[in-house]
Amino acid sequence: MENHSSLMRKSLPITLLFALFFSLLSNVATAADVDKAKWAEGRTLFKSNCASCHNPKVAQTGPALMGVTKRWEDGGDFGGKTGKQWLYVWIKNWNTAVAAKAPYAVNIQNYSPSQMSIFPNLKDEDIDKILLYVENPDAGGGPTPPAGASGPSGPQTAESGSEGSNTVLYLFAGLMFVLVLILVLVIRRLDKIVDESNGIVATPKAAFWKARKFKAGLTLVIFVVALFWLADNGIRLGRQKGYQPTQPIRYSHQLHAGKLKIDCQYCHTSAGKGKTAGIPSLNTCMNCHKAVTQGPVYGKDEIAKIYEAVGWDPATKAYTKPPKPIEWVRIHNLPDHVYFNHSQHVVAGKVECQTCHGPIQTMPEVYQFAPLSMGWCVNCHRQTEVQFASNNYYSTYQKLHEDLKNHKIDKVTVEQIGGTECAKCHY
């Protein structure tokens, strides 16, 4: 009986280690349940169509979208369509759903004074991919528009949220390892007490942490962790995700692009015409600020800095001094060996600014939203669907147009037109 009890005590740590392993494995399996390819396409579609107003987890201009499928299904069937089918109708043209008096559509039509855009060209399967993403925003661990406007010190992005979840998981695993270690020591002590009570003289055992096998194993673990840390930090070297420098003038995109809904290209006029988006000239600022002399947040202080730079006297409403440049601090910057053309993406690719710069319309102060790494760009090219139907820029790709027309393929990604060739960005 004593031998059986001793065996049970000695096998308990191994049992706990197996339980820990399968617990971690179940977390991986749960994440794997989501179709990663469709999830990634859904994320790209979300960023292109929805991210300017919505976030999966937090209400912004529009409501948080996580759980939207169930909310519509709970709205019930109506007019021969299920709740989810009415959700498709709503996304393609919310006016149609309201005009048909679908109950849930009528219920939410006045959610916000800012009416939702319509997306008549989205297919049902595209909407399914978007819904897969918004219902499982952390499943893929990739970048998602942030929930708030506080930048890197404020609400976190889905990517950082995923990293946070992994951190908690690793901390839990470490804690479990320490507990098992303590349990081993306790069991060794109990075995010694039992042996002594039975008159058995136990052979003194060296502390397990002094054993050569333990030292070798610990050395291997430290080496692997150090190697991973060096590789991870080497890959991140030079990247500026989350970079948010202090600017000479506190310009709020949240006010101008968000509340006032000024189009990005009104200020960044070269985004659709050349390689760079450009820094807006002070003359562009003065188009409005000759008349607008006070802001809702900073009052007259920040606008006065513009007047000082352009030499404008608001009292006499005349330019009285020579202008001088404002020393803005550049945020988004690519290495010299990388070629990127804004106009190619904005005009030909019809990429929204938010795809790379995040929900700029919610940022009181701009920060770098995406890592802008090669892997990040390549993944976007692999996932982004080219808008062939409404874009004459791609008229020369006759074979792909024929394949689309003959239903041999259902979409064309940037990768299929050479978007992942090295020479496209490095030459």
Q: What is the pLDDT of residue 145?
A: 40
Inform me whether the pLDDT recorded for 83 exceeds 50. Answer: yes
Q: What is the pLDDT of residue 22?
A: 52
Inform me whether the pLDDT recorded for 256 exceeds 90. Answer: yes
Q: What is the pLDDT of residue 5?
A: 53
How far apart are alpha carbons 79 and 101 in whole angstroms?
Answer: 9
Residues comprising the chain, all counted: 427
Inform me whether the pLDDT recorded for 255 exceeds 90. Answer: yes
Q: What is the pLDDT of residue 159?
A: 39
Inform me whether the pLDDT recorded for 302 exceeds 90. Answer: yes
Inform me whether the pLDDT recorded for 26 exceeds 60. Answer: no
Q: What is the pLDDT of residue 15?
A: 55
Mean pLDDT of 321-350: 91
- Token duo for residue 404: 């689309």
Count of helix runs (H) and strand runs (E) in the chain: 18, 2
How far apart are alpha carbons 338 and 286 in whole angstroms?
Answer: 34
Place of tokens 């009890």: 5
Q: How confident is the model at residue 17 (pLDDT cuts 50, 70, 90)?
A: low
The DSSP letter of residue 293 is -
Domains and their CATH numbers in the chain: 36-156 (1.10.760.10)
The DSSP letter of residue 336 is T
Lowest-confidence range among 27-36, 55-64, 166-175?
A: 27-36
Q: What is the pLDDT of residue 60?
A: 65
Model-wide pTM > 0.85:
no
CA atoms within 13 A on the CB side of 117: 12
Q: How confident is the model at residue 160 (pLDDT cuts 50, 70, 90)?
A: very low
How far apart are alpha carbons 332 and 177 in whole angstroms?
Answer: 42
Inform me whether the pLDDT recorded for 122 exceeds 90. Answer: no
CA atoms within 13 A on the CB side of 242: 11
How far apart are alpha carbons 246 and 243 in whole angstroms?
Answer: 10
Q: What is the pLDDT of residue 216?
A: 82
Q: How confident is the model at residue 176 (pLDDT cuts 50, 70, 90)?
A: confident
Helices 83-92 and 124-135, axial angle in degrees (round to 10):
100
DSSP three-state, residue 63: coil
Distance from CA of residue 19 to its chain's centroid? Answer: 33
Inform me whether the pLDDT recorded for 61 exceeds 60. Answer: yes
Q: What is the pLDDT of residue 110?
A: 66
